[in-house]
Amino acid sequence: MTVNDKKALSSKRREEKRKKRRIALAAPFFTVLFILSVIALIIPLRPTESMREKRRLAQFPEFTVGTLLSGDFFDGVSTWYSDTFPGREGWLDVATRLNNSHGITTNVISYSQLNQPAVEETLPPLPSATPAPPVESAQPVEIDAEPTPTPEPTPVPTPEPTPYYEEIDTPTDSMESWGGLGDNDEKVIHGVALQIGGAAFEKFQFNEGLTGLNAAMVSRAAGIAKEYDVRFFDMPIPASVGIVLSSDLLDRLGMDDQGQAIAYKFEKENDDVLKVNVFNTLIRHNDEYIYFRTDHHWTALGAYYAYEAFCRVAGFEPVPLSEYTELDMGDFLGSFYSTSPQPAKLETDHLLAYQPPGNIEMQVYNNGYTFPADVIFDKSQASKFDKYVSFLGGDHTMTVLTNTDLDDDAPNCAVYKDSYGNPFVIYLTQHYHRVYALDFRKYDAMGMRSFIQAYHINDVILAESMSMSMGLGSYQMLDMRLGY
C-alpha cells in the first residue's frame, strides 16, 4: 500500500468518525422533535382556548374540494397546528421570562384593545343609517353634523355640594382595622404587573409635571362650563395598588401614594372645579371586594361607592344598592392574567353587575353607526375572559343612557371617561334624564363647549383613572376634548 493510499484511508476513517459524532449529536434532537410532533397530532391534548391571550384558538379547518384546490385547507391546518400546540402556554411563559431577563417588557394594559372582539360578537346588526343620539325628538340627525348652539341653556337648580375633601392620614393610621395588605402579609413578585399572593396590581408612579398640567386643563374646562351655568366635576379614580396596599408596603416597593397625588391635583385646581375624592371613600371599604384580583378595574361595588361619593358632592340622594337587580356573570379572568409573573397562582375573580331600577334605554355610537343595546350585557355564559364587557357592552365612542321615567326637563350630564367609568355611569341614570358617556380616547366629534350647547348638558363629569392621568397621551386627548 502506497503512502497516498494510507493517507486516503486515514482521511476516510476520520470523515466516518466525524459523521458518527454528528449523528450522535443530532439523534437526541430529532428524537425529541419526532416525539413532540407525534404528541402534537393527538387532538385531545391540543388546547382550544388561550388563558394568557384571552381568546379562542384556531379550529381545525373544514375540508371541501374548494378549500383543497385553493390551498386554504392546508393553510388552515398549518395555523391550527401551530396555534394549538400542546403546552403552548408553558412555552409562552418561558418566552416571556426570557424576554423579561433581557429587559424586554410590554405595557400592563392595552386600553384600546380591551374586550373589543367580545363586544362585537354580541351586538345587534348595525343599521345602514348613521344617526346621532336624539336631543329634542326621536328623529336622528347625522352624528358628525355640526350642532346648532342653543342661545342660552336653562340651568337646573341643585342643592349646594358638600365639601370635597376630608383629610385622612396614611391608611394604617386612619383605620381601626386595616382591610388591605400589610407590609409582611405575602411575598411580592415583581414583573410587568406586581403580584402579591393571589392578586395582581398595576404599578403607580406620580408625575408632578403632568399632574400640574392636568389640574390647569381641568380648571380651564370648568371655566368654560361655568359660562353656560354648567357644573364641572373632577373624579380621579385610583388604581387598586393605592387602596389595597398599606402605606408602609407602598413605601417599601418604591411606589407613590395616590391619595397624596389626588390631594396635590385638587390643590392646583381652581374653585370652579367640584372635586370628588373617591380615594377617601374606597379606603374605608378596602376590606371589601371593590377591586378585581386578575384585572386592573374596580368591581361594580367599588364603582357604587364612588357613586355615593359623587352624590355627596353633587347634592343627590344615592339610590340604595338593594334597589338594583344583582346579575351574576360568573368567574372572570382579567387583563393581569396575561401579564402577571405567575398567573396560575392568581385567585379567580367573580363578576357581579347591577341592573338599575326604572326604564333605562341605551344607544351605542361607534364609527358613525348607532344601534340600541342593553345597559347590562348578559355574559354569564361567555368566556371567563370577556366578562368586563357586561358593563355598557364595553368601550364605545359614545353611549347614551336615557331614563324615560324622568321628565324631559330633568338634567342631563356628559361623562368623559375611560374604561373605569363603564360600571360607574350606570348609577347616574337615577338622577339624569340622559347620561352621555364619552370615551375620551375615541370621541372627537366636537369639543365640550359645543357638546354642552348641542345636548343641553347641566353637569360635566371627568372620570379618569389615575394611571391614565400619568400619561402625556391621555392629557393631550383630554385637552383637545375639554379645551374648546
Question: 320, 325, 284: which is closest to 304 by C-alpha?
Answer: 320
Pairwise pLDDT comparison (187 vs 376), residue with the higher score? 376
What band does 7 get if pLDDT is binned at 50, 70 and 90? Answer: low
Q: Which residues contact 261 (CB under 8 A, 6 or more apart)?
A: 206, 211, 466
In DSSP terms, 237 is beta-bridged to 465
Distances from the Cα of 482 to the Cα of 223, 438, 457, angstroms: 11, 11, 14
Q: In the predicted model, what is the mean pLDDT of the chain?
A: 78
Q: At residue 467, does pLDDT exceed 60?
A: yes
Question: 216, 331, 328: which is closest to 272 by C-alpha?
Answer: 216
pLDDT of residue 60: 75
The C-alpha cell of 226 is what? 361655568
Question: 68, 44, 45, 47: which is closest to 58 by C-alpha?
Answer: 47
What band does 17 get if pLDDT is binned at 50, 70 and 90? Answer: confident
What is the percent of the chain with per-residue pLDDT over 90, rounded to a whole number?
49
Pairwise pLDDT comparison (15 vs 127), residue with the higher score? 15
DSSP state letter for 47? -
Question: 371, 368, 382, 296: which is closest to 331 by C-alpha?
Answer: 382
Q: Which of 29-33, 392-396, 429-433 has the lowest mean pLDDT?
A: 29-33
pLDDT of residue 483: 83
Q: Which is it for the CA torsion 309, 311, 312, 313, positive or negative?
A: positive
pLDDT of residue 127: 32
Question: 144, 148, 171, 262: which is closest to 211 by C-alpha?
Answer: 262
Give the separation between CA 202 and CA 101, rounded to whole angstroms. 20
Residue 364 CB burial class (10 angstroms; 0-12, 13-18, ≥19):
buried
DSSP-assigned letters across all residues of 145-168: SPP---SS------PPPPPS----
The C-alpha cell of 183 is what? 407590609
State mean pLDDT over 331-352. Answer: 90
pLDDT of residue 145: 40
Q: Which of 137-146, 211-220, 322-331, 345-354 has the lowest mean pLDDT?
A: 137-146
Q: At residue 103, does pLDDT exceed 90?
A: no
Question: Per residue in 111-165, pLDDT tens?
Answer: 233 333 333 333 333 333 334 343 333 333 343 444 444 445 444 444 444 333 3
pLDDT of residue 194: 87
- What is the enclosing helix (H) or strand (E) of 417? strand 412-417
Q: At residue 222, does pLDDT exceed 70?
A: yes
The model carries a pTM of 0.68
pLDDT of residue 140: 36
pLDDT of residue 167: 39
pLDDT of residue 93: 52
**Scanning the structure block, which residue is given the C-alpha cell 367640584?**
274
Q: What is the distance, to the nearest Å, from the Cα of residue 291 to the centroid of all Cα atoms in its chain?
A: 12
Question: Per residue in 18-29, pLDDT tens?
Answer: 777 777 777 787
In DSSP terms, 67 is beta-bridged to none
State mean pLDDT over 340-359. Answer: 92
